[in-house]
Amino acid sequence: MSYLEYSIKTVPTGWRKILHLNWPLVVLLTAVASVGFLMLYSVAGGSFTPWAEPQMKRYGLGLAAMFFVAMVPIWFWRNIALVAYLLALFLLLLVEFFGAIGMGAQRWIDLGFMRLQPSELMKITLVMFLAAYYDWLPLNKTSRPLWVLLPIIFILLPTFLTLTQPDLGTALLLAVGGGLMMFLAGVHWAYFATVIAAGVAGIWAVFESRGTEWQLLKDYQFRRIDTFLDPSSDPLGSGYHITQAKIAMGSGGWTGRGFMQGTQSRLNFLPEKHTDFIFNTLAEEFGFIGGISLLALYVLVVVFCIFSAIQNKDRFSSLMTLGIGLTFFLFFAVNMSMVMGLAPVVGVPLPLVSYGGSAMLVLMIAFGLVQSAHIHRPR
């Protein structure tokens, strides 16, 4: 079975594929990762260990993986999308199973050279699988209830598995990312309007129930919401970290305190300075200029994905490219909102910058898919 009815003869073959890579995207990704190396070097007090050096090695590995994935024709990836999704789901269950026999809230599987988080893998395979699903589904069936219910199940299965790990941040990203994939695929407006209305009503009900007999959340959960809305109400408890993060951010000013001069991170006032809150270190040391520059790089990555998707006439390719760009956006948007005090702290890393293996490798593989779609696009 051929992939597309129009010619794929014009698709480059062999080494010529390299010329057709989306090179600006490669440069952008490397630039973002380099910001990460610089910050990891800084938070370690001017040292390549323990964070900057492993991160650079991982990026090298990720880059290689990206090139490898890019060389493989996109139709191969489409064909294995279902298998990949099922495999990721299986791995998630496996983690669940191991967790059940007493390994605690374990989220990863040890592969020897790295620890793989199946929930990270799921972010990409879900996007891939939904793209393949809508590629397969006749257009006129897109908004029919049965065909809408089916992808919802595909989304909710891994979401619940992730939620029980528990990993609220990733679960939210999966749910929101999946929902937006459905939006991109053209599911009717009315469905989304209904969901949003239900969500607003639900939140309203939760707040209204407070203090009554049938209140929907436990007291401590309400207190956590209070703390998020007003961190100063619990300055030494859970509000402490977000307050310190905001101080780091705000005290940077226009140009920052200078490389390795951030007192908030150097003196450990800043929590998780090498992972979730690394953006605050950047903002403290390089100020508004530094922060806005990284934001611009991120936005450019997303913009390049959108352009690549729009140029691509293949439904699977463009849906998947948009989905991956969107996932990437959700990553940094949620992280930044969180560290700026606009969203509750849910533990989402800053893509390609935060220290961490799985997330980086999975993202690079995802951009490999974007590159493959770009190289193998119908012309």
Partner 1 sequence: MRRTPRETAESALRISRRGLILGGTQLAFAGVLALRMRHMQVDQADEFRLLAEENRINIRLIPPARGRIFDRNGLVIAENEPTYRITLVREDADDVDAVIARLSMLVELDEDDLNRAQAEMKRTAPFFPVTVADRVSWEDISRVAVNAPALPGVTPEEGYSRVYPMRDTFAHVVGYVGPVSDRDLSRFEDPPPLLRIPRFQIGKVGVESKFEEELRGNAGAKRVEVNAVGRVMRELDRREGEAGADIQLTVDSGLQEYVKARLGEESASVVVMDLEKGDLLAIASAPSYDPNKFVRGISVADYSELRDNNHRPLASKTVQDAYPPGSTFKMVTALAAMEAGVVGTEDTVWCPGHMEVGSRRFHCWKRSGHGHMNLETALRESCDVYFYDLALKVGIENIAAMGRKLGLGEAHDLEMSAVTAGLMPDKAWKLRERGSAWVIGDSVNASIGQGFVLTSPLQLAVMSARIATGRSVTPRLVKSINGIETPHRGGTSIGLNENHLRQVRRGMYAVTNDRRGTAYRSRIIGEGYRMAGKTGTAQVLNRIVKNDAPWEERDHALFVNYAPYENPTIAVSVVVEHGGGGSTAAAPIGRDVTLQALYGGDPPLDAYPTGLRAEIEAQQERLAREREARIAERNSRA
Q: Structure tokens of 353?
A: 């910058």
Measured from the CB atom, the residue of 36 and 252 that comes closer to partner 1 is 252
**CA 330 – CA 349 distance, rounded (Å):** 11
How near is the Cβ of 262 to partner 1 at its closest, in Å?
9
Q: Provide DSSP, 170-227.
A: HHHHHHHHHHHHHHHHT--HHHHHHHHHHHHHHHHHHHHTTTSTT-SS-HHHHHHHHH
How near is the Cβ of 314 to partner 1 at its closest, in Å?
8
How near is the Cβ of 140 to partner 1 at its closest, in Å?
9
Measured from the CB atom, the residue of 28 and 89 that comes closer to partner 1 is 28
Omega into 50 within 30° of 0, i.e. cis? yes
How near is the Cβ of 159 to partner 1 at its closest, in Å?
20
Cβ contacts of 182 within 8 Å, gap of 6 or more? 130, 148, 151, 152, 191
Measured from the CB atom, the residue of 222 and 288 that comes closer to partner 1 is 288
**CA 280 – CA 252 distance, rounded (Å):** 9
Measured from the CB atom, the residue of 55 and 335 that comes closer to partner 1 is 335
Q: Structure tokens of 225?
A: 């919401």
Omega into 151 within 30° of 0, i.e. cis? no
How near is the Cβ of 121 to partner 1 at its closest, in Å?
24
Half-sphere exposure at residue 359, Cβ-oriented, CA atoms within 13 angstroms: 20
Measured from the CB atom, the residue of 205 and 296 that comes closer to partner 1 is 296
How near is the Cβ of 151 to partner 1 at its closest, in Å?
15
**CA 205 – CA 215 distance, rounded (Å):** 9
**CA 191 – CA 174 distance, rounded (Å):** 18
How near is the Cβ of 98 to partner 1 at its closest, in Å?
33
Question: Which residues here bind partner 1, judged by CB under 8 A?
Answer: 5, 135-136, 138-139, 180, 183-186, 244, 246-254, 263-264, 267-269, 283, 287-288, 291-292, 295, 298-299, 302-303, 306, 309-310, 313, 315, 318-319, 322, 326, 329, 333, 336-337, 340, 342
Q: Which residues pair with 199 in a beta bridge?
A: none
Measured from the CB atom, the residue of 259 and 269 that comes closer to partner 1 is 269
Measured from the CB atom, the residue of 48 and 269 that comes closer to partner 1 is 269
